[in-house]
Chains A and B, each alone.
Chain A
Amino acid sequence: MRHWPRAVLAAALASFLALASAADAAQPPPGASSCSGCHGTVPNGTPIPVLRGRPAHDIAGLMREFRSGARPATVMGSIAKGFNDRDIDAISQWVVGQGQ
């Protein structure tokens, strides 16, 4: 049996431990962490809706309507145009569960 050099073993162990240390981190897909700059996670009486807890497919559907212009918007049309369908689905999945 081939023996792994000690350095390789140590590096593997270190990288595993580092991975484990961040295991609780839910990495947002690209673009998703910007949403919470405007959309709060708890209702606070503002006109900008909370996304957390809503069905992901609703958010994705709204984003597609903003992007196509089918749904009028102030800023969301311009923002949604920066994302493709795969981005939108990933972001929608993430934001509805954010902070949980």
Chain B
Amino acid sequence: MRKHLSARRRTLLKLTAAAALAPTVVRAQGAAKVVVVGGGFGGAVCARTLKTMAPAIGVTLVEPNKTYTACPFSNEVIAGLRELKQQEFSYEAIARNGVTVAATTATAVDSAAKIVTLGDGSKLSYDRLVIAPGIDLDWKALPGYDEAAAEKMPHAWKAGPQTALLRRQLEAMEDGGVVVISVPAAPYRCPPAPYERASQIAWYLKAKKPRSKVLLLDAKDSFSQQRLFQAAWTKLYPGMIEWVPLSQGGNVTSVDPATRTFNTDFDKHKADVANVVPPQKAAAIAQTAGVADRTGWCPVSSIAFESELQPSIHVLGDAALMGAMPKAAFSANAQGKACAAAIVDLLAGRTPAEPRLVSACYNLAAPDYGFSIVGVYRPEKGQFLEVPGAGGTSPIDGDSALRAQEARYAEAGFRVLTAETFG
């Protein structure tokens, strides 16, 4: 019966196809509207890809910043190896692609009426809404650490003025100083980044202030690519980087910005330069829109990244709970493209295919010392899990030629990723 009906329907579609000529199609195309909130690696590439795949869909990208400041490679800015300017990307190319760029915030979402309210009071209706706002720092999670404290103890976890501030503090520090970096429990943006940052800071200190040290206070007992990082530290910066895991009292319970002190369960660590990587959650609009759950993050389906809490809303990137996929630029970019493809299908009344996503992440322990971790992910029991047998890290015994090659790939990958995302 079902088969019979669908055959009848196909016939009907053919008949309709003959009757429906271009003008009707154009009108139908104009009707589909997608609003993307957040112009980072996930949101920006999703908007661009939608417009490329289906030019007739009306796509609006809501992003208050005129330029995007990228986090990947911002640790090199802290170490004085790059300038912040090289991290900045404009939305002009995206606008030239035909995406309407609304340079304002999104302040509210009415998911029943399918309307987004913008900071200027205007309202946008949508057929599909993509929320890709990234993270907010949780200013209530670590006693003593608020926005004022971040001026004394920078987080530099959103690239921009905070990145420049941490660099200036390092430059002003005297030789023999101690740089303390605190690392929160998972999940947080870019799992290996605190350890890459420790490496990059050690690179700077080794060259300029060799009696100085880096102390990592960690709320975890293990970390991404741990053996690779620790081998790099032994080889490149012997005795300079100390890592204190959770089980040895690494968990920071409060900070005192006046004295740049980190308090742990049993100890106090006074820093000359203090870098607090604070606990995080999905950015405010995700909470406002009702797509974040009690964890502070956004549960999504693993087929089209649709919110499990609100209809017709997709959540991408760092704000979302993506199973085993790390919160990282490359992941968000891969999700953004796959989400665009799924939305095109959904708007066409088709069921999106099950996605397969690749995540590739490079870390630089020094300018010529890179290594990587990759993963291939597919939906499994409602979340993204790694495809067994695939993925992995660089070999632990890789020689210096391999490390140099991966450092070049890291730089190349960043150029391609940012070009694809921002044009």
Contacts and interface: CB of A to CB of B under 8 A. Distances in A.
Interface of A: 4, 9, 12-22, 24-31, 33-40, 44, 46-48, 74-75, 78-83, 87, 99
B341 A27 contact: yes
Contacts of A87: 356
Closest 9 CB pairs of A and B: A82-B376, A82-B390, A46-B412, A17-B28, A34-B358, A31-B356, A30-B356, A81-B390, A33-B337
A44 to B, nearest CB: 6
Given A24-B55, A44-B415, A74 B29 contact: no
B25 interface: yes
Contacts of A25: 53-54, 341, 344, 348
Which DSSP category, helix, strand, loop or mixed, fits chain B's interface? helix
Contacts of B161: none
Given A18-B347, A82-B358, 20 more contacts: A12-B13, A12-B16, A16-B13, A19-B349, A21-B347, A22-B344, A22-B347, A25-B54, A25-B348, A28-B341, A33-B337, A37-B333, A38-B417, A44-B415, A44-B419, A46-B416, A74-B394, A74-B406, A78-B392, A79-B376
A19 B348 contact: yes
Nearest to B49: A33
B240 interface: no
Nearest to A4: B12
26 contacts: A12-B13, A15-B349, A16-B16, A21-B347, A27-B345, A28-B337, A28-B341, A31-B356, A31-B357, A33-B49, A34-B334, A36-B337, A36-B416, A36-B420, A37-B330, A38-B412, A40-B419, A46-B411, A46-B416, A47-B405, A48-B409, A48-B413, A78-B376, A80-B390, A81-B391, A82-B376
Contact of B25 (A17, A30, A46, A48): A17
